[in-house]
Amino acid sequence: MQIHIIGTGKVGQALGHAFLKAGHSIGQCYSRTPEKAQKAAEALAGQAVFALDQLENQAGYYLLAVHDRAIAEVLAQLPQSIRNERLILHCSGATPLSALAQAKQYGIFYPLQSFHEGYLPDLARIPICLAASSPVLLEQLKDLAKSLGCRYHLLAEEQWPALHLAAVMVNNFSNYLFAMGQSICEQAQIDPEILFPLILQSAQRLEEGPAKGFQTGPAIRGDQSSMQKHQAYLAEHQPQLLALYQLLSQRIEEDL
């Protein structure tokens, strides 16, 4: 199956490489920045295009791998023949299926993963969340996910916001806490790498059961002495984190 990639950022390139590896072909790679389009096209054995009206009406899928806020705008600029005749996908977990309603055939192909520059993950280990404008198209997306070796999940419209929120909680917020832990170590002239085994173990044990069952630390124990020392340290060295520490400790005490 031939796929056109519209948007050559981190997600577009990662999915493009995964499609190639699975035996699909990349037709055209669009970016409004010519250098990025050319670089992606060379990496994905496709053709670089720099304007949306240059996209050819011949691919099986048109993947909109652009910022959430740009999806509707980019869709509106696609040639009418493509919107009428081709299957158009976006890969956002925060944008509803209805954002593609200007097209005749459309769906969501959302890899539940955080991507960064140069990261080409094994998609067989990443869940793909699917939605489509018709049952027939949904079956096509299932086949596309299977071709990558992925586990796929079908979500109802009301489930998408909950999943995206949960992903932000466990990925974006936790990464911020990792960064703050590293900052505290660096300020105290401690090598932050000392935290890595603890971080890895905290994530790996989640495969064994619900996170609530693994909560440790002074808040869950009601260790007020340790918590007071932590708060005194933050007040002196990292005062911007004091309210966050207090809020998280309170939530652990009350929720877990």
Confidence of residue 5 (pLDDT cuts 50, 70, 90): very high
Domain that holds residue 26: 2-156
Q: Which residues contact 191 (CB under 8 A, 6 or more apart)?
A: 185
Residue 123, pLDDT score: 85
Is the pTM here over 0.75, yes or no? yes
CA distance between the termini of the chain: 48
pLDDT in tens, 74-101: 999 999 999 999 999 999 999 999 999 9
Domain co-membership, 225 together with 171: yes
Residue 121, pLDDT score: 82
Domain co-membership, 34 together with 74: yes
What's the total number of domains in the chain?
2
The b-or-e profile of 221-246 (16+ CB within 10 A means b, else e) is eeeeeebeebeeebeeeeeebbeebe
Domain co-membership, 165 together with 137: no
pLDDT in tens, 147-169: 999 999 999 999 999 999 999 99
